Structure 1
Amino acid sequence: MTEPVRLSKRMSELGLCSRREADEWIEKGWVRVDGQVVSVLGSKVLPHQRVSVERQAAAEQSKRVTILINKPMGFVSGQAEDGYKPAVALVESATRWKEDHVDTQFHPTQLRSLVPAGRLDIDSVGLLVLTQDGRIAKQLIGEDSSVDKEYLVRVQYTKPGKLPDSDLKRLNHGLSLDGKALKPAKVRWQNDDQLSFILNEGKKRQIRRMCELVGLKVVGLKRVRIGGVKLGDLPTGEWRYLRPDEQF
């Protein structure tokens, strides 16, 4: 890599912030390249140049919150649609989990720029991450994200008998969606009617569509873990802050 690249893109690659945050910081004069302030949007840098940010940027970033919700059915992950409420509507003082011991006071200003880092279908439940921190959003939904996600999936077999072992193997590796082979997954039986899925990708309605391909109908789907962060005992419809010791 010897070609100059946009400063905001380089800052994102370095893990300093998201591109949107980078543009904000550049406009505020909070970014230096080789010690010189760069405040013109669209500026380019070479890979060997040293990029640093002012203390104000780090201080602003540290105030950004990440919230974990146990999403109930009937809520959409992002923007309100078709009369359904977005999950962020659940975030208020009254619905904060009583067991949340993070020393952060809730304030409605935290709802600004709070976006879902990944999605859960309207008829799926469990762990949903909302964040103001572009670094976490990139880690969870960036093109090169390697964070795995675990789901408990209740199913019914739509054919006589039970699911053949060969089809369980296909769920693990060998299926394609939209003409593209899926990455290997880890799929195993938890009990007679429930599967555990661990995925490294998140195509739209992926698990439901995978199951359909082998004759399984999904009757319940719950996300219980994203990387190193577990849903745990968080009650349905309640939320808590990401703890300082937790990492995806």
Structure 2
Amino acid sequence: MKGQAVLAANRLSQGYGLQFVFRRLDLELRPGVTALLGPNGAGKTTLLRTLATVQPPREGRLAIDGREVASEAEARLARRQIGYLPQRFGFDPGMRVRDFVQYGGWLRGLAARDLADTAEEALAHVGLADRARQKMGSLSGGMRQRAAIAWAIVGSPRVVLLDEPTVGLDPQQRLRFRDVIASLIDTTVLLSTHLIDDVDAICDRVLVMHDGKIHFDGSTDELKALDDPSMPGHAPLERAYMALLPEQERDR
């Protein structure tokens, strides 16, 4: 990959209490869609929270567009360029969809004068422009998830971090989700997921994480090349992924 990384982590460490979730992790992200695969407990959610500046790292360096995030003031500036959607996002059922998305922009520090226009653009991007006046509680699960993606991409952030965004979506809703993510051409997207077919459909790079370490970093084709017919799975990418996991993780 050429050019400067949009997001760079150098020897990044994070943990809770006396325990480290990951230590001295190096990672660079550039425009495109990168999948983050790994079993439960691998450290994926903690990594996303750290990259989103929600949780300051214990050790190491985090930089956005070459600018180090070394203080809370710098983290607030960085968040303007980071759209983060946690796996479990909260919302007020009585809030209008437009207001929900505008609130996401406000939290990231977007200028008040831009909130209305950027929210409309984000809702149009996910196909919810006609639902802007509806209340969040009246939306179907799939529409609510699309509203959450609009929350993450409002204001066209340089980096979008998505934690299991397709959980609970039916096949048709997942296809629409793929179209939305594929349309973020110039955006740096990191997508944490357990759904291998989504990875194969929309991702051009894959990270496999377990035990707090990155054990694979390459293209989807490079991962498929590790296909092991003796592994469980119905497709080359699934079997290759399983081959990278410790035996105890495969048996879960």
- TM-score for the superposition, normalised by structure 1: 0.27
Greater share of helix: 2
